[in-house]
Amino acid sequence: MRVPRSDTAAVWLPPPLLAAVTLAVGLLLDWLFPVFVLTVLLTHSTRIALGLLLMTAGVALAIVAERQFHRLGTPVPPWKPTQALATGGIYAYVRN
């Protein structure tokens, strides 16, 4: 029996939903098992600055990745058919 070929990524959970689930699990674990290491090692303003820096880096990475997809003419949503394989730019270093 021949298996039909699909030209999609076969994503079972959209990445934004996967990120939301990961965040929810992290918050639940923090509530169940609080860790006070960062409050002892870093001041509140340092933790806020570090968090903002990491969020800015994440948003910048997402923008660079999305622009690469648009340059190739392939859709960003993983459930849509792929038009081209991204192997240059940021995708020369990361896959996801």
Q: Is residue 10 over pLDDT 70?
A: no
Beta-carbon contacts of 74 under 8 Å, excluding residues fewer than 6 positions away, are 82, 83, 84, 86
DSSP at 31: H
Taking only the tens place, the pLDDT of each residue in 32-69 is 877 776 777 788 898 899 999 999 999 999 999 999 99
Amino acid at 46: T
Decide: 7 and 81 in contact? Cβ < 8 Å.
yes
Q: Give the tokens for residue 96.
A: 């996801």
Q: Give the tokens for residue 53.
A: 């820096």
Higher pLDDT, 69 or 4: 69
Give dist(CA 6, CA 79) in Å, integer.
11
Q: Is residue 1 over pLDDT 50?
A: no
Q: Please tell me the pTM assigned to this model.
A: 0.59
